[in-house]
Amino acid sequence: MASKLYSEPSSILKGKEILILEDDSFLNKRLVAMLENCGAEVTLCEEVKEARNNLDALVFDFALFDLNLPDGESLEILREGLVPANTVTILMTAEGGIDSAVEAMRLGADNYLSKPFEIDEIPILFQKADQQRKSQRLIQHGSEQRKLESANLFFEGVFEQDFKQLKKIIDVDSRLQANLPPLLIDGPTGSGKSTYARWVHDHGARQEAAFVAINCSAIPNNLIESELFGHEKGAFTDAKNARIGLFEAADNGTLFLDEIASLSLEAQAKLLLAIESGIIRRVGGTNEIKIDVRIIAAANQDLSQMIEMGTFREDLFHRLDLLRIKIPPLSSRGKDILKLSKHLLSALSKKYKIKLPLFAPGTDLQLLEYPWPGNTRELLHELERAIVMGERNQPLQFNLANHKSVKLDTDDWLNPFFRFPEKGFDLEKEVQRLLKLAIEQSNGNISEASRKLGVPRDYIRYRLKKST
């Protein structure tokens, strides 16, 4: 009985050209009838020579080859490279022909069918293979786009130190190839952590595989395990269908965990187990699934301090902290902020297809004195806003006065341009100073000061007591 799914013409096959290479006349009649019923145009061949001639003369969207023909094997056609790369090809093979099927896949076939099979499987296989090719092309396109973007990264002046860190990671990756160690990228919000993570992936050993990113703070705690590891049907109330997790989606590629500090302690424990064992289990499942994923984690908080506060697992921190890239705040880049600004301005002028604009008088000093709490992202947005909202063919002006600014004192360590003195730095003294400043700005309210600092009240009391 014909499948109801294909009782009407299949959209994936309608109007498509399909080549069949098969010498079984009974099977051919059924195949042609089913495919034509789906709206396809079918060319039927019973010998390898005939298929060669048709491939030379016509262009096919799909091809269905039997392995053994009266005048040879269809593998010869694949070996000779006669099938175009954009033709979805499926091999039909009798029982015991697995080796030939594997070779066919190596030569460019998209899938294979073991005889006997249900004839209604053919459109489904064509559809899946077509979708897979499109997905692979999208991945490739995304990788190419990221490479273009990363090629535009700025690594001059003090930013060269960033490049040296990134290059060391790539050198390690090229030597290891497999089982790549986790990488921790540490830096304030807007400093470019996700951009650097993509750069490492796109220039490393796994650049042809998937780059999967997740913002851990954007996923509710009760769903994070399902997002990371997947779930089986019925695992929880809304689990109407089974779904793979991001670990499986990133297998043999890179999984980027942004804002990892926001994970709950329970989620951190399960993440640690997955990283150490290379094995995951879907929520509601019992099967162990082996995965090989390169983990890149990013944090905009001090994980060492979170460990002291009991909100981040020390064992997970040490597992992630084998390789680390430290991105300093933009305000610490000094005069190279101007070089970065002009570099970003050049890219934006190409994006908006305008002549490279000049800065208005006084802009240089304005860019240097502003503290840039939003870091490089904020700088980019200010430049883009100035281009879009400013007058055409006029020097760019910024309205940073509307933003919260600070009066700079180059002797104060709170100033963005502070440089550590050669004689050394008393960290404990400055921690006490920072605590007292928060308490002073909170009018002596310890709870309010703890909120400002993002620490528990007990932490403030402990540090103040320690200083006495």
Q: Domain holding 291: CATH number?
A: 3.40.50.300
Tell whether 264 and 379 lie within a shared domain.
Answer: no
Tell whether 98 and 29 lie within a shared domain.
Answer: yes
Q: Which residue range is the domain that position 451 belongs to?
A: 427-467
φ/ψ (deg, to 5) at 319 = -70, -35
pLDDT given at position 413: 52
- Report which residue type is found at 302: D
Q: Is 96 left (phi over 0), alpha (psi -120 to 50) or beta?
A: left
Tell whether 188 and 322 lie within a shared domain.
Answer: yes
Tell whether 10 and 112 lie within a shared domain.
Answer: yes
Question: Is there a domain that residue 359 lies in?
Answer: yes
pLDDT given at position 231: 87
pLDDT given at position 452: 86
Tell whether 290 and 357 lie within a shared domain.
Answer: no
Tell whether 195 and 233 lie within a shared domain.
Answer: yes
CATH number of the domain at 338, please. 1.10.8.60
Distance CA 437, CA 439 (A): 5
φ/ψ (deg, to 5) at 134 = -65, -40
pLDDT given at position 468: 66
Q: What is the pLDDT along the chain (468 residues), one digit of tens a residue?
A: 344 433 343 667 888 899 999 998 899 999 999 998 888 999 999 999 999 999 989 989 999 999 889 999 999 999 999 998 888 899 888 766 678 888 888 888 888 888 888 888 888 888 888 888 777 777 666 666 666 666 568 899 999 999 999 999 999 988 887 889 999 999 999 999 999 999 999 888 888 888 899 999 988 888 899 999 988 888 787 777 888 899 999 999 999 999 999 999 999 999 999 999 999 999 888 889 999 999 999 998 889 889 998 999 999 999 999 899 999 999 999 999 999 999 999 989 988 888 998 888 888 888 988 899 999 999 999 999 989 888 888 888 887 755 544 444 445 555 544 556 667 778 888 888 888 888 888 888 888 888 888 888 888 888 888 776
Distance CA 140, CA 138 (A): 5
pTM: 0.64
Distance CA 147, CA 141 (A): 10
Q: Using DSSP, state whether 121 is helix, strand or coil.
A: helix
Decide: 396 and 421 in contact? Cβ < 8 Å.
no
Give the domain-ending residue among 326, 355, 387.
Answer: 326
Tell whether 171 and 311 lie within a shared domain.
Answer: yes
Tell whether 320 and 338 lie within a shared domain.
Answer: no
Tell whether 169 and 306 lie within a shared domain.
Answer: yes
Give the domain-ending residue among 310, 326, 342.
Answer: 326
Q: Is 307 left (phi over 0), alpha (psi -120 to 50) or beta?
A: alpha
Tell whether 250 and 353 lie within a shared domain.
Answer: no
Distance CA 31, CA 9 (A): 14
Tell whether 162 and 303 lie within a shared domain.
Answer: yes
Distance CA 97, CA 102 (A): 9
Tell whether 172 and 314 lie within a shared domain.
Answer: yes
Question: Is there a domain that residue 416 lies in?
Answer: no
Question: Is there a domain that residue 146 lies in?
Answer: no
Question: Is there a domain that residue 166 lies in?
Answer: yes
φ/ψ (deg, to 5) at 323 = -115, 135
Domain count, the chain: 4
Decide: 193 and 298 in contact? Cβ < 8 Å.
yes
Question: Is there a domain that residue 303 lies in?
Answer: yes
Distance CA 169, CA 324 (A): 9
Distance CA 76, CA 107 (A): 10
pLDDT given at position 422: 66
Per-residue buried b or exposed e for 154-192, using 16+ beta carbons within 10 Å of the residue's own CB: beeebbeebeebbeebeebbeeeeeebebbbbbbbebbb
Question: Is there a domain that residue 421 lies in?
Answer: no
